[in-house]
Amino acid sequence: MTEWAAKRFWTEARVTEEGAGFGVALDARSVKTPAKAPLVVPTRALAEAIAAEWEAVEAKIDPRAMPMTRSANAAIDKVAHQRAEVADMIAAYGETDLLCYRAVAPQELVLRQSEEWDPMLDWADSALNARLRPVSGVMPAAQDRSALENLRRAVHAQGIFELTALHDLVALSGSLILGLAAQHGVRNVHELWQISRLDEAWQAELWGADDEAEATAEIKRAAFLHAQEFYCLVSEV
């Protein structure tokens, strides 16, 4: 059986206890990942969200309408098999974090970046002992190695499901600091997304919004919010 068959074949989707984790059964059949691994997640809350996605299927299965299932599959089939590499890739964002690269002009944008981004860098310093240094312009600037190592430890300490969420939080925002801040609940996730879009918002104010760019941004925003929701279900926060 493949759980990604075209049509619904079950009458009920329910949560099952699987050792220290939780799975989802479609009638008597346990859901598996696309790679045929057992779909077992660490919390009942996440399993219930996945079961709800399967229960909501009416006729044909559409993976695009099942984001929790897709993220759990990614954690099990992909991240679990290259955990260190994924963690290294995420941690590398600290070397060129969005929040560190500031405009040189106009002054209003410079001030806006400082007002929104400096508090996040201050949080990383106080909470993670990772002081990153902002620079003007776009040329790469070396950051303090001890700060980067502390950020790397914070990333590598996470399990495969947390890393799956963090990967998207960081890749979509362009900032390791914002991704970690989302996990720590430092600011509302909607506010953090807006902070990551400060430069784009400024350009839209100057030149007007571009419909295609706005549509792309909305897709990314939804994915960012999903990643945070997935993390909360994994962590039960």
Domains and CATH numbers, the chain: 13-61 (3.30.2180.10), 81-235 (1.10.3580.10)
The per-residue pLDDT for 2 is 46
Total-model pTM:
0.94
Pair 98, 178: CB distance under 8 Å: yes
Compute the radius of gyration of the chain from its Cα atoms: 20
CA distance 137 to 135: 6
Longest distance between any two alpha carbons in the chain, whole Å: 63
pLDDT tens digit string along 15-42? 999 999 999 999 999 999 999 999 999 9
**Exposed / middle / buried, residue 227 (Cβ in 10 Å: 0-12, 13-18, 19+):** buried
pLDDT tens digit string along 148-173? 999 999 999 999 999 999 999 999 99
**Exposed / middle / buried, residue 167 (Cβ in 10 Å: 0-12, 13-18, 19+):** buried
The per-residue pLDDT for 6 is 65
Which single residue is written with the structure tokens 């003007």? 136
CA 129 and chain centroid, separation: 22
Q: Which residues of the chain have pLDDT under 50?
A: 1-4
Phi, psi dihedral angles at 19 (to 5 degrees): 65, -125
The per-residue pLDDT for 66 is 96
The per-residue pLDDT for 140 is 82
Q: State whether the Cα torsion 80-23-172-178 is positive or negative.
A: negative
